Amino acid sequence: MSQKDIIILGIESSCDDTSAAVLKNSAILSNLIARQEIHESYGGVVPELASRAHQQNIIPVVDEAIKKAGITKEEIDAIAFTRGPGLMGSLVVGTSFAKAFSLAMNIPMIDVNHMIGHVLAHFIDDEGKDKPEFPFICLTVSGGHTQIVLVEDYLKMKVIGTTIDDAAGEAFDKAAKLLGFPYPGGPLIDKHAKLGDPKRFQFSKPQIQGYDYSFSGLKTSILYFLQKQTKENPAFIEENKDDLCASIQSTIIDILFKKLLKATRDLNIKQVAIAGGVSANSGLRTALQETGKKEGWKVFIPKFEYCTDNAAMIAITGKYMFEKELFADQSCAPTARYSMENIGN
Ligand code: KG4
Ligand code: ZN
């Protein structure tokens, strides 16, 4: 190993996935994720169960990530962990683990903002793929957030648009629940949407000022529509599942793109990325490519494994913070709400 190599262990435990990754410079050596299936039957993440599952999973997942990376723990230069935003009981598991590991190994710990992690996933080495240049716009869409982010540098970001109620992932999951899918339903809507007609059903779209979003009206509009239709025909959902999924998905994408287009045109930015769990959606990925062609954008779409929650994105963010010596200390506490602006300032 040359003198300049930096090895970072990343830990992610903000919601219901326990993940550990090993990063060497900008390349991922391992990225392991333990998913918690326990929440499926509850129709959403149960915080207390998530916290307990993280406690059970964290040590085996870290062990396996180190083994798979082919390194020893003595080679790790720093541990980066998600400090927030997220569920308190989940965050505390990753934070406590990072503190103990940092103390035991006598290495720095780095407190990473999960949302910055989603954006910086674009800077993980991926053969043949370009990385965005600054400034660029990133549409960050997950189960908890929907943001238009102006990315001026690795650790300098401005949230110029956000949702005033539900996140895009929540809109997918809540619509999926109404259709009878288990949690999280977003990927199932995606799967059925591929077989359906996106123009078959129309749902209401919000009229919100600026670059902000709203998704709660859409959920209500789907609910009322389904109530009316199933009264007349109890098998309506089953008989129209694919078209319903395609129509719901295309409505969510239309809502997302209306504001994304406005922001890129107003700011005259031609480099556009997507990030977060919903960026795994095939319709959204295609829409970005097609809109990008029309608008003359250079577009950036993350690898599937770096879309939904993962520790690789925490490790790469840790690397940029390590270079600036932005370290946390043992008094660092997890935080459920955590602004991604002004990191290190
Ligand atoms: O980023 P993420 O893994 O966790 C949060 O930080 O919230 O995002 C999870 C969200 C869930 O709402 C899930 O349904 C959604 O991402 N999601 C999708 C797809 N894959 C994950 N939504 C639509 N289509 C997908 N293929
Ligand atoms: Zn996330």
Instruction: Give percent of the chain above pLDDT 90.
Output: 90
Least confident of 34-48, 127-141, 178-192, 295-309: 34-48
Could you tell me what percent of the chain has a pLDDT over 70? 99
Ligand at minimal distance from the CA of 176 is 1
Structural domains in the chain plus CATH codes:
7-122+307-323 (3.30.420.40), 132-302 (3.30.420.40)
Between the alpha carbon of residue 31 and those of residues 10, 24, 193, 236, the distances in Å are 9, 12, 29, 42
Q: Ligand 1: does its nearest atom lie under 6 Å from the Cβ of 85? A: no
**pLDDT higher than 80, residue 43:** no
Residue 124 CA to ligand 2 centre (angstroms): 16
How many Å apart are CA 276 and CA 14, to the nearest integer?
13
Helix 241-267, helix 282-295: angle, nearest 10 = 40
**227 CA to centre of ligand 2 in angstroms:** 32
181 DSSP assignment: P
DSSP designation for 48: H
Element of type H or E holding 83: strand 78-84
- For 55-72, the pLDDT digits (tens) are 999 999 999 999 999 999
84 Cα–ligand 2 center, Å? 10
pLDDT digits (tens, 9 = 90+) for 251-273: 999 999 999 999 999 999 999 99
pTM of the model: 0.95
Model confidence at 345, pLDDT cuts 50, 70, 90, reads: low
Residue with token string 């977003």 = 186
State pLDDT tens for residues 195-249.
999 999 999 999 999 999 999 999 999 999 999 999 999 999 999 999 999 999 9
Partners of 146 in the beta sheet? 141
Find out whether the beta carbon of 166 lies less than 6 Å from any atom of ligand 1: no
- Element (H or E) spanning 290, and its range? helix 282-295
pLDDT in the model for residue 109: 98
Atom of ligand 1 nearest to the CA of 114: 6
Residue 104, SS3 per DSSP: helix
- Residue 290 and residue 18: Cα distance in Å, rounded? 34
User: Which has the higher per-residue pLDDT, 201 or 45?
Assistant: 201
Q: How confident is the model at residue 1 (pLDDT cuts 50, 70, 90)?
A: very low
pLDDT digits (tens, 9 = 90+) for 82-141: 999 999 999 999 999 999 999 999 999 999 999 999 999 999 999 889 999 999 999 999
CB 245 within 8 A of CB 196: yes
- Reference 119, options 300, 344, 305; nearest CA is 300
What does the block give as tokens for 4?
A: 């300049």
- The answer to whether the CB of 190 is under 6 A from ligand 1 is yes
**Separation of CA 144 and ligand 2 centre (Å):** 7
Q: How many CA atoms lie within 13 A of 148 on its CB side?
A: 23
Ligand at minimal distance from the CA of 308 is 1
Reported confidence tier of residue 328, pLDDT bands at 50, 70, 90: very high
